[in-house]
Chain A
Amino acid sequence: MSAPGAIVIGASAGALEALSVLLPALPASFASPVFVVVHLPPDRKSILAEIFQAKCRIPVHEAEDKEPIMAGTIYFAPPNYHLLIETENSLALSSDEPVRYSRPSIDVLFESAADTYGPALTAIVLTGANPDGADGLRRIGLAGGTVLVQDPTEAMAPEMPLAALAACPTAQVLPLAGIASFLLGV
């Protein structure tokens, strides 16, 4: 049986604005789980889940360890933990060392999601000022997943999309509005 699809998103500087275009666009009927890593300060509680729960039509959680994966639900990685996809039914957290100074790391999420979902995965790299996510996006591409990168000319911080494109040249480059319409067709 093939895995049901899933969406993974990575963003850093400018994430709030970019996600505010994408996530509220998802309809109440959206069927895939959505996993999001945003770089956050490690020593403060995150209010991302609350902010987006108020804006979105589907449930938004900050991920808890071994939480079951529900269709049509957005999961944010908590500060100071990596978020990994354990199986199609369960996510997991780890406090392994930061990767490229980041915990949560986009690469860690993307790599585990590629292992679990293979071609049924859609990955999106948004605005950010560092190269996290590039290696992970390349792996997702190699595993047959769909890879999208926010148009660097539109991104608030272009480094992350540019690094992702350098590592994964087959990725489609789209503006946020284009990514949003793409997701509606998933």
Chain B
Amino acid sequence: MHDKIEDIEIRLLLEALFLKYHYDFRKYAAASVKRRLRQAKEAMGFETFSAMQEALLHDASMLPRLLGYLTVQVSEMFRDPSYFRAIREKVVPHLRTYPSLRLWVAGCSEGEELYSLVILFREEGLEDRTLFYATDINQDALARAEAGVFDLERIQHFTENHRQSGGHSSLSSYYSAAYGRASFDKTLRKQVVFADHSLVTDAVFAEMHLISCRNVLIYFDRELQDRAIGLFKDSLARKGFLGLGAKENLRFSGHAGAFLDFVREEKIYQRRTE
């Protein structure tokens, strides 16, 4: 019955995190949360989750470290190049018809997906009429996204992804390299608003034409996924677009009927007109 005790302890820890700090992971996918918390417990040197919970309640300095384990996602620029190719070739022609655009990268983590989309929009001549919202619940990740600095060793892979996505500029024209780091050009951020926003507890904040939220919903349980998808539905303009990760889908969502498959194999959906 040891495992069952651990499950109880994890529930109590997540409850403590919510009651004391208002970060709500109670409806996150349990298997991933358990894995991440086990890593945090070991790295922080706690014997049990109960001990971790006590420390968390009495020592606020533990919070950022724990959130680091629970939220930080390492992605890549132009991850799944065929997704970005579909945005470029199938979605952009529709977006061109709007005089001004709003795009939301929900759960932007350290900014890889955001920079990919800003570069794509610049290449397609849409950047200047677009406001990009990049949101996350992790302040450290948001700060890193805003800094736009990536390890140089990752850039070769990003460059190959960008090329495969149909990019018709050179990725190297968007960053300067020094000391093993690639710093992305600050002009890529001139149209970007970085903001703390939770898909779990926060509400609609603007009307969007494209929402890109890749590999974020997989960390939620079905009920929470449904809340987030409802939030996307309510945020999207009529005929606006929603892009999910390659293995995410709306099939199990109560809001599925509000969307059409737009590019089925890339998990790009379009909001129906009602």
Contacts and interface: CB of A to CB of B under 8 A. Distances in A.
A151 interface: no
A84 B222 contact: no
Contacts of B32: 84, 92, 94, 96
Contacts of B222: 66, 90
- The 10 tightest CB contacts between A and B, nearest first, are A84-B31, A112-B31, A95-B215, A65-B218, A92-B29, A94-B32, A93-B218, A86-B31, A65-B248, A93-B247
Interface of A: 63-68, 78, 80-81, 84-87, 90, 92-97, 108, 111-112, 115-116, 118, 143
A169 B219 CA distance: 34
Given A64-B247, A65-B217, A108-B35, A86 B29 contact: yes
Given A66-B218, A78-B247, A95-B73, 10 more contacts: A64-B247, A65-B218, A65-B247, A66-B252, A81-B218, A86-B31, A94-B29, A94-B219, A111-B35, A118-B3
Given A66-B222, A85-B31, A95-B75, A115 B3 contact: yes
Contact of A66 (B35, B36, B75, B225): B225
Nearest to A87: B30
A95 B29 contact: no
19 contacts: A64-B248, A64-B251, A66-B221, A66-B225, A66-B252, A67-B252, A78-B246, A81-B218, A84-B31, A86-B221, A92-B218, A94-B35, A95-B215, A96-B35, A96-B36, A108-B35, A111-B35, A112-B35, A115-B3
Contacts of A115: 3, 31, 34
Contacts of A97: 74
A144 to B, nearest CB: 10
A86 to B, nearest CB: 5
Contacts of B74: 97
B136 to A, nearest CB: 15
A98 B215 CA distance: 15
A140 to B, nearest CB: 12
A95 B245 CA distance: 10
B161 to A, nearest CB: 8
